[in-house]
Amino acid sequence: MLGKTYLTKQASLLMKFARTTSDADLSAKLISKAADLKSQADPLPDTDQGPHAPDVSPNGPTRS
Summarised one tens digit per residue, pLDDT across range 11-58 is 999 999 999 999 999 999 999 999 999 988 877 766 655 566 666 566
Residue 25 domain-assigned (yes or no): yes
Give the chain as a 3 state SS string. Answer: CCCHHHHHHHHHHHHHHHHHCCCHHHHHHHHHHHHHHHHHHCCCCCCCCCCCCCCCCCCCCCCC
Sequence length of the chain is 64
Report how many domains make up the chain: 1
**Pair 60, 20: CB distance under 8 Å:** no
Domain that holds residue 23: 4-41
Residue 51 domain-assigned (yes or no): no
Residue 14 domain-assigned (yes or no): yes
**Pair 6, 49: CB distance under 8 Å:** no
Residue 13 domain-assigned (yes or no): yes
Give me the pLDDT at residue 42, please.
Answer: 78
* Model-wide pTM > 0.75: no
pLDDT at 1 over 80: no
